Amino acid sequence: MKPRQESDASREEILKRRAERLAATASDDGPRRIAARVALVGAGAQRLGIPVEVLREIVPMPDITALPGLPRWLLGITHVRGEIVGVVDLSSILGAGGERASAMAVVEGAGGPLGLSVESVLGFRDIYEDELSAQMKADSQRPIQAMTKDLVAIIDVARLPVAHDEGERPRAGTRAITD
């Protein structure tokens, strides 16, 4: 029984030294800094992060009233908690294709509330600075603020076409739907 006691003691010593080494390494680098707190959603084949600072709520997809002459990415309007909300098809804006939306993320845009149709709600996540891709900090063609190394695109709500002020026009290349 004596050899087993010695091996337990040496194992404890090894684990203690390893823990001290790991703790010293972590404190040398400093604490990880959070770049964004996001709600993870799915739109088409993409995983998207909607910053919680602009997120009001996520609701089951409501009935939408289509209006004539809207761009393809603007599905119509709906009513949420006493407010009329324009509903944007995130899959269409991002060129992701996709299935029928099951939920709507209500965000605070520059002109008021805005509904973003999403296919799935995956949860919430802290995105740390060291997780952001160095090659893709921002995408000038799409409303993407940043991309993580595991391919979560963080949405920039201010760059969504309908989130702009009244005087600005949506991006070129949008087509109107006529009924």
Verify that 8 and 62 share a domain, yes or no: no
Average pLDDT of the segment spanning 131-158 = 78
DSSP designation for 166: T
**Residue carrying structure tokens 């992060």:** 49
% residues pLDDT > 70 (the chain): 77
pTM, entire model: 0.70
Verify that 58 and 115 share a domain, yes or no: yes
**Residue carrying structure tokens 């070129």:** 172
Beta bridge partners of 109: 112
Which amino acid would we find at residue 94?
Answer: L
Which amino acid would we find at residue 133?
Answer: S
% residues pLDDT > 90 (the chain): 42
Verify that 13 and 66 share a domain, yes or no: no
**pLDDT for residue 164:** 47
Q: In a 10 Å sphere around its CB, with 0-12 CB exposed, 13-18 middle and 19+ buried, how is residue 106 labelled?
A: buried
Domain of 116, in residue numbers: 34-163
**pLDDT for residue 172:** 36
